[in-house]
Each structure stands twice: as C-alpha cells, then as structure tokens.
Amino acid sequence: MASAYLEIIRPKQWYKNLLVFVGVVFAKKIGEYDLVLLAIVGFLSFCALSGAVYILNDIVDRDRDKQHPRKSLRPIPSGRISVSSASVYGAILLAAGTVAAYWIGWEFLVVASIYLVFTTAYSLTLKNVVILDAILVAVGFVLRALAGTVAVSVPISPWLVISVFLLALFLTFGKRRHELAVLGEDAHNHREILKHYTPSMVENMMNISTATLIMAYAMYTFLAANEYMMFTIPFAVYGLLRYTFLVHTANEGGEPELIFKDIPTVVNIVLWMVAVFVILYYAPSDSGFFGG
C-alpha cells in the first residue's frame, strides 16, 4: 500500500522540478549554501504541489484511465487507493507544499500559487483545448524555473526562459505523437484532446518547436555573461535530434522521462551539464575569443 501512495505522486516525473535549481546554478551561486538550501526546499515544495495536482488529475480521469492499457494500472483507476483516501492525501501534500513555499518567501509563494492555478485549470478542463493543452504544460515548466530564481533572488535570462518553454512544448508534442501512433483510431477514448490532433499536425509542431528552440538557446548562449557557453550548443542540438529519432524509430516518447533510459541521451545530458558547470564556474568570461 505504501508503494501505491508513492506511485500516485509520480516520482518519475520529479525531474521536472529540478528546474527550480536553474536560478542558483546559472547565477553561479552553487557555493552559497543558504541559497542552495532554499532551492532544495523549493524543489520539495514543487514535488508536493505537483503530487497534489497529479492526484487531482487521476481522480478526474479515473474512468477514462480504466480503458488505457498502462494508465489503468495507476493506483486510483486500479482501485488500490480509493478516491476519498487520495483526496485526503492530496490535501496533505497541498498543505505541505504551500507551507514550504511560504517559508521560502512570498514571491516564491506567488509563483507556486500561479503554478497551482494553471495546473488545476489544466487538469479540470483546459487539457481538452487543442494547442492550449501543450502551452499550459510548457508554462508549468517555466513557472518552476521562475520559482527557482525568485527563491534565491537572482535574475534569469529571458532567452533561457524561452528555451525552457520551447523545450517543454517539444517534449509535449513528442508525447502526443507517440500516443497517436500507439493508440491509433482509439486514441481519443484514452485522451479526449487527441481527437483534435493528427500525426502530420504534431510533426509540424515538433519541427517548429525544434527550430525555434535551437535559435532561442543559441541566443541565450550568445548573450550569456560567458561567451564559451556557445560551446554547449552542439549538446543541445544533439539532444533534440536524438529525442526526435527515438520518437520516430524506437517508438519512444510516451513519457519524456523515457529518454533517461537511452544511453546516448544520458551521456549527452551529463556532458552538457559538465560543460555548463565548467564554463560558468571556471572558464574566463572576458577572453575576447569571439572578437568581443
């Protein structure tokens, strides 16, 4: 039973909440332990808040999920956790996440509250509005990143914000494509919004997201305080193309976290993280290497 209560808050998706650390990492504050502590508490706050939203989503979708080959195994549609027990559990998580957000500061609490409003609206109705459903998922990613910056009181590049938004759009459309491919004509019975999407439409949206994301990330690196950030562009491009490859040829993309099972992608992410850390914290920022 304990495993069901952990499963229902989807710990496999907690990687999304790591965006809370964007502020402390990219502002080069990783050595200031009081700020790192705030980021950690912020991460835990979003894990609790997102867990409460996942529970709400599962309660709302329980009848539809019973028809899905994979979602039917979730705690609520499978009957391992009752709706009443899940509701109490969700309320406890909501209270815990809100208290943690309040402890960090009122600005973080405001961003977290906006996140709750958007994600709750998504779970209740807006997930059935074509295109807006994907945009709201992307906004959720951006709000996590913004919460991390206000938690440690540091600014964030608007190009980095746009990059986070476009990356989330790209992953969401990849997920939609996978669902259409796997579920076929029965797709709308498992997720109502899928009746509004077609494979070719999603392909075009993925292409647009990929192209604009590459440009946005390139602009971020061009305007970054350290010009050597441009050397991280190949890692970003490879990651996007590799995920596109998986979606098309390996039938992956049902859940974005599946990329962590792909060894080349994992290696690429690690190399990107190492490159970013070395460049931000150790590389000279005024070398004039690119003629600056």
pLDDT band at 286 (very low <50, low <70, confident <90, very high): low
Whether 74 and 29 share a structural domain: yes
Q: What angle do CA 210, 213, 219 make, to 5 degrees?
A: 145
The answer to whether residues 68 and 166 belong to one domain is no
- For 264-278, how does the pLDDT look when each residue is reduced to its tens digit (9 = 90+)? 999 999 999 999 999
Mean pLDDT of 170-190: 75
Query: Per residue in 21-32, pLDDT tens?
Result: 998 988 888 888
List, for residues 236-259, the tens digit of each pLDDT value.
999 999 988 888 775 655 566 677
* Residue 57 pLDDT: 86
What pLDDT, on the 0 to 100 scale, is given for residue 250?
Answer: 59
Indicate whether 272 and 179 sit together in one domain.
Answer: yes
**Are 126 and 187 members of one domain?**
no
Domain assignment of residue 2, yes or no: no
Instruction: Select from 102, 136, 170 the last residue of a domain.
Output: 136
- Joined together, the tokens standing for residue 194 give 């899928």
216 with 110, same domain: the answer is: no
Domain contains 150: no
The pLDDT of 192-216, averaged and rounded, is: 89
Q: Is residue 42 part of a domain?
A: yes
Poorest-pLDDT segment among 85-89, 108-112, 123-127: 123-127
User: How far is the C-alpha of 236 from the C-alpha of 47, rounded, in Å?
Assistant: 26
Q: Establish if 40 belongs to a structural domain.
A: yes
User: Is 245 within the bounds of a domain?
Assistant: yes
Residues 278 and 174 both lie in one domain: yes
Question: CA-CA distance, 244 to 241, in Å (whole number)?
Answer: 5
Of 107, 136, 165, the one marking the end of a domain is 136
Is 143 domain-assigned? Answer: no
In this predicted model, which residue has the larger pLDDT, 168 or 156?
A: 168
- pLDDT for the residue 53: 92
Range of the domain at 124: 7-136
pLDDT greater at residue 87 or residue 187 = 87
| 190 within a domain of the structure (yes/no) | yes
Q: Is there a contact between 97 and 112 (Cβ–Cβ < 8 Å)? A: yes
The verdict on 80 and 162 lying in the same domain is no
Q: Can you give the length of the chain in residues?
A: 292
Picking from 136, 167, 185, the residue at the C-terminal end of a domain is: 136
Do 180 and 276 share a domain, yes or no? yes
Average pLDDT, the chain: 87
CA distance 244 to 177: 11
Residue 64 CB neighbours (<10 A): 15
How confident is the model at residue 284, as a pLDDT? 77
CB 55 within 8 A of CB 9: yes
CA distance 47 to 16: 9
What Å distances lie between residue 177 and 187, 201, 204, 249, CA to CA? 11, 9, 11, 12
Could you read off the pLDDT of 122-167 as tens digits, one per residue? 988 888 888 999 999 999 999 999 999 999 888 888 999 999 999 9
**pLDDT greater than 60 at residue 195:** yes
Q: Comparing 131 with 189, which gets the higher pLDDT?
A: 131
Kindly indicate the confidence band of residue 79, based on its pLDDT and cuts at 50, 70 and 90.
confident
Are residues 221 and 266 part of one domain? yes
**Domain count within the chain:** 2
Instruction: In whole angstroms, give the CA distance from residue 36 to residue 47.
Output: 17
Question: Does a structural domain hold residue 251?
Answer: yes
Q: Sign (positive/negative) of CA torsion 257, 262, 263, 266?
A: negative
Identity of the amino acid at 247:
V
Q: Both 170 and 118 in a single domain? A: no
pLDDT in the model for residue 125:
86
Q: Which residues of 248-265 are buried (b: 16+ CB within 10 A; e: fewer)?
A: beeebbbebebbeebeeb
- CATH number at 121 reads 1.10.357.140
Q: Based on the domain organization, do 114 and 65 belong to the same domain?
A: yes
Q: What is the pTM assigned to this prediction?
A: 0.86
Residues 131 and 171 in one domain: no
